Amino acid sequence: EVQLVESGEGLVQPGSSMKLSCVASGFTFSNYGMNWIRQAPKKGLEWIALIYYDSSSKYYADSVKGRFTISRDNSKNTLYLEMNSLRSEDTAMYYCANWELGYWGQGVMVTVSS
């Protein structure tokens, strides 16, 4: 069974940093590109980052470029999202997803507030 389990949920102050993790199981993680997507409260979905299966390429939405970094450790079947200089508008549920296989994690809530 494919599982994607995010962690790192929390409340942080504006300007601070946070790192999310997504542990994958049930498929060969190192064969697939992975995405991070977020959803602000009561809003629609926003794609924010993609990393190729071998980390050779990374792509970001303009809204997070230069502040967020996507990375992965294929030996640990884990995807990461490092978030710096957090703003109130980054408050959202963050999902990791393998779009090729059609699977999403359950999401973790990140709240940026003073």
Partner 1 sequence: DVVMTQTPVSLPVSLGGQASISCRSSQSLVHSNGNTYLHWYLQKPGQSPQLLIYRVSNRFSGVPDRFSGSGSGTDFTLKISRVEPEDLGDYYCLQSTHFPRTFGGGTKLELK
What residues make contact with partner 1 under the rule CB under 8 A?
Answer: 35, 44-47, 50, 59-62, 95, 99, 102-107
Strands (E), the chain: 3-7, 10-12, 18-25, 34-39, 45-51, 58-60, 68-73, 78-83, 92-98, 103-104, 108-112
- Beta carbon of residue 16, minimum distance to partner 1 (angstroms, whole number): 25
- Beta carbon of residue 17, minimum distance to partner 1 (angstroms, whole number): 23
* Residues 21 and 29 sit within 8 Å (Cβ to Cβ): no
Nearer to partner 1, 13 or 65 (CB): 65
Please state the length of the chain: 114
Count Cβ atoms below 10 Å from residue 97 Cβ, excluding itself.
20
Nearer to partner 1, 15 or 100 (CB): 100
- Beta carbon of residue 47, minimum distance to partner 1 (angstroms, whole number): 4
Nearer to partner 1, 66 or 102 (CB): 102
Give the pair of three-digit tokens for residue 28: 């060969």
- Beta carbon of residue 87, minimum distance to partner 1 (angstroms, whole number): 18
Nearer to partner 1, 12 or 61 (CB): 61
